[in-house]
Structure 1
């Protein structure tokens, strides 16, 4: 955020991808975006890898651990444990990419890195995938969302449909049932005066609108050719539930890198 207020929305920018389709139905918008080789290079050299691995905090953590090893046996044991740390799973890398792109292109403000909350090596945290604030025009709104990654050739892929699909999950997030739990989680991660002020603005809008003034994001990360059917019909279905002042944006990002190789692409594991 630099020296600016959290409500300024000032985030270092990365190059835009190429929008290949878009649509709107009421309070729901959707778009498909191809990420070019240049965009992928920018992401790989900076914010994507950082978000996947929480690199700055991880480096501090590892430095501290190494400082606690006082014998050769302890040092060797620590090296063996670090070498056994698995690489992030493709879905985790896809989720981190969505967070980075929403931050750079859509005003998302993340108050916490989700990588810090993983309590087991392959665990997915309960609740919404995305919890933060959406900052625009000098104001802030609560941000809730879901991320799905898929290599499936069908359009839409299975991750968009059914009881575990993105649309059903966003429909649930449009209701107020889980909002207080997510807001409580978010509030306790506001560690600076700027973030606390932005949260108060967003929470105030939520209260005044009786739980309706929320920004929803649905993110689909793909390694397939762009296909409007990935989003269009599902978005129109969501528009029956999401109405003003709530808004929802569904975005499909199409990567020129196979999903199975996303962890290798970002290459975050470097324990030295």
Structure 2
């Protein structure tokens, strides 16, 4: 067993790495299976995982403004009752947030926006790619598109990986140019800092010069089962028939030591003070 490898910006706090239990590559596609350790789970649950699930900084600011409008005890009680009744995030939402955090910490992903802000309802599944951002390595950026699936299914691979609606077919569609402009437009208006704008321009320049081929794809599978290379190995070979240089794809399965049904409790997003 070896530790998982990946580029990590010095500006991003480090999370204890999981243990890579399998991996391989086929052309421009690579894959790895990683067991998260107890240390990783504690560090994630204490901050970055919960932050990503609930967009906590923005949520706290919103709640502070809402509470400031309560002028009577009845109004204060009304707001408190609503907050207590708000449902926990669903396990798949927690799994998606975990993938974003780990890609940021271990694989150079740069997120310019928290997708939690775009949900119209707490249980909403937004259309389009699950992951839209930038991938920064060696001082340059590429467009990043990807998909996240969470599964407790004992089958290897689980059903979320196969079929017309499975991860591999979704990644194959993202490898084409049909949806790129829509995703790039979404990303462009959310790049608000000079650093994000510069990274975006560099990534789009690579995309244009390669005629839409120089992008980074990520396929993330979040599991609470025993690691099995069959989760990814055969699927990666299938994807490699479509994804070729200069495009790259990484399939990663993260195996958590706690049941998927309990993931929302591990991030504590309802404890907003």
TM bracket (short chain): over 0.9
CA contact (8 A) 2:9 2:105 kept: no
Give the CA deviation at 1:8. 6.2
CA contact (8 A) 2:172 2:242 kept: yes
Query: 1:9 and 1:123 mapped to 2: Cα distance?
Result: 34
Could you say which residue in structure 2 is the equivalent of 1:132?
133
CA contact (8 A) 1:9 1:107 kept: no
Query: 1:11 and 1:244 mapped to 2: Cα distance?
Result: 29
CA contact (8 A) 1:27 1:242 kept: yes
**Aligned Cα root-mean-square deviation (Å):** 1.1
Give the CA deviation at 1:10. 3.4
CA contact (8 A) 1:9 1:136 kept: no
Q: What stretches of structure 2 of length at least 5 have no aligned partner?
A: 1-7
CA contact (8 A) 1:9 1:135 kept: no
Query: 2:67 and 2:149 mapped to 1: Cα distance?
Result: 36
Query: 2:259 and 2:30 mapped to 1: Cα distance?
Result: 27
Give the CA deviation at 1:12. 1.7
Give the CA deviation at 1:112. 0.2
Could you say which residue in structure 2 is the equivalent of 1:150?
151
Alignment of 1:45 with 2:46, yes or no, is: yes
Q: Deviations over 1:142-166 (max 9, x none)?
A: 0000000000001000000011100
TM-score in terms of structure 1 length: 0.96
Query: 2:272 and 2:257 mapped to 1: Cα distance?
Result: 28
Q: What stretches of structure 1 of length at least 5 have no aligned partner?
A: 1-6
* Other structure's SS at 2:199 match: helix
CA contact (8 A) 1:221 1:252 kept: yes
Query: 1:271 and 1:206 mapped to 2: Cα distance?
Result: 41
Could you say which residue in structure 2 is the equivalent of 1:97?
98
Give the CA deviation at 1:9. 6.6
Could you say which residue in structure 1 is the equivalent of 2:118?
117
Could you say which residue in structure 2 is the equivalent of 1:56?
57
Query: 1:10 and 1:267 mapped to 2: Cα distance?
Result: 25
Could you say which residue in structure 2 is the equivalent of 1:67?
68
TM-score in terms of structure 2 length: 0.96
* Other structure's SS at 1:70 match: coil
User: Aligned pairs, how many?
Assistant: 266
Could you say which residue in structure 1 is the equivalent of 2:3?
none
Could you say which residue in structure 2 is the equivalent of 1:4?
none
CA contact (8 A) 2:9 2:108 kept: no
Query: 1:71 and 1:10 mapped to 2: Cα distance?
Result: 44
Query: 2:39 and 2:271 mapped to 1: Cα distance?
Result: 24
Give the CA deviation at 1:11. 1.7
* Other structure's SS at 1:63 match: helix
CA contact (8 A) 1:83 1:271 kept: no
Alignment of 1:268 with 2:262, yes or no, is: no
Alignment of 1:231 with 2:232, yes or no, is: yes
Query: 1:130 and 1:179 mapped to 2: Cα distance?
Result: 12
Query: 1:65 and 1:27 mapped to 2: Cα distance?
Result: 49
Alignment of 1:21 with 2:29, yes or no, is: no
Aligned pairs for 1:98-247 (under 5 A) are 98-247=99-248
Give the CA deviation at 1:104. 0.2
Query: 2:170 and 2:10 mapped to 1: Cα distance?
Result: 27
Q: Deviations over 1:68-95 (max 9, x none)?
A: 1112221111111111111000000000
